[in-house]
Amino acid sequence: MVKETNRIITGAHYGLRDWLIQRITAVLMVIYVLLLMFLISFYQIFDYAALKALFVNQWMRIASFLFFISLCWHAWVGVRNVLMDYIHAANIRLTIHIAVIISLFFYLIWFAEILWG
């Protein structure tokens, strides 16, 4: 007969969701980098004017913005997991979490301003 054990569950248990988010965002970033490498080699972009002309296209701006959202989300999951593993004092961990969230949000807004500003 199997004896049931009383488990004490602690933590948020992000496990599978974090793993899946990390993989999906990594795949999106690789696809974008490969697309960018193809476009740069196909259109022979060697100067700033040619690169700027590439980013005039709305689809390229949207792809770049999706790349940056994926980058921020990927970074957030990684940093959050590292902080949860290595910073044990809750008040310090929360302060760093808030600083990272504010920083990533600021970078996302800044990137949007660069693309569409």
Give 22-69 pLDDT, tens digit per residue.
999 999 999 999 999 999 999 888 899 998 999 999 999 999 999 999
Q: Yes or no: say if 73 and 21 are a contact pair by the CB < 8 Å rule.
A: yes
pLDDT over 90, % of the chain: 77
Comparing 5 with 12, the larger pLDDT belongs to 5
Residue 114 is encoded by which pair of tokens? 């660069």
Give 62-77 pLDDT, tens digit per residue.
999 999 999 999 999 9
Task: Look at residue 10 and tell me whether its pLDDT is greater than 60.
Answer: no
* Average pLDDT across the chain, whole number: 90
Q: What is the CA radius of gyration of the chain?
A: 20
Task: Look at residue 80 and tell me whether its pLDDT is greater than 80.
Answer: yes
> Which residues touch 55 (CB under 8 Å, ≥6 apart)?
61, 64, 115
CA 54 from chain center: how many Å?
23
Domains plus CATH for the chain?
Answer: 15-116 (1.20.1300.10)
Half-sphere exposure in the Cβ direction for 105 (13 Å, CA): 6
pLDDT for res 17: 87
Buried b (16+ CB within 10 A) or exposed e, 73-105: bbebbebbeebeeeeeeeeeeeeebeebeeebe
H-only helix segments in the chain: 15-42, 48-54, 58-86, 90-116
